[in-house]
Amino acid sequence: MEVISYIGIGSNLGNRKKNIEKAIVFLKADKKIKLLKKSRIYETEPLGPPQRKFLNGVLKIETKYSPFELLRRLKEIELLLGRKGSPRWGPRTIDLDILFYGRLVLKTKKLTLPHPQVSERLFVLKPLCEISPYLKHPVIKKSIKTILKNYETNKKN
């Protein structure tokens, strides 16, 4: 069975653009993953400790992997691209996160779906809205476009 998933992609170490491009090459080469759409890449302020700005984007894929297999595959790609253990929200060569896996709602020690911070991260909402504005968040029950609009309204107040 094939499932539509959304992957957050980011980098702030080394050649950020090349790191993202290489990660996409690995994903496209995987027979169980089909890249359907990719957002533009946005430069964003980091969360957490002082560090270089991130480049971030979102990928829409179709996958034959289960959610846990997809997570394992993304972690393998991160290691192949030189990701080392870093402090929470610390700098990294590549970061690949499952944002949505179909309409699945899941909460385990290893994986929470949808990603718990989707609605709180402009660097996720903006590129996600660019490629799938009417995607409905299965927990919040609102479209990404509406969630982004609410986020921007709340940040102004």
**Which one of the listed residues 30, 97, 103, 121 is annotated catalytic?**
97
Is 103 assigned a catalytic role? no
Q: Which residues contact 41 (CB under 8 A, 6 or more apart)?
A: 17, 20, 55, 56, 57, 127
Between CA 67 and CA 115 the distance in angstroms is: 12
* Nearest CA-CA partner of 23 in 51, 59, 49, 68: 59
* Nearest CA-CA partner of 55 in 105, 109, 8, 115: 8
39 near 58, Cβ under 8 Å? Answer: yes
Is 30 assigned a catalytic role? no
**Which one of the listed residues 30, 52, 73, 92 is annotated catalytic?**
92
Strand, coil or helix: what is 72? helix
CA angle 41, 73, 129 (to 5 degrees): 30
Is 95 assigned a catalytic role? yes
**Which one of the listed residues 16, 73, 83, 121 is annotated catalytic?**
83
Just list the catalytic residues.
Answer: 83, 92, 95, 97
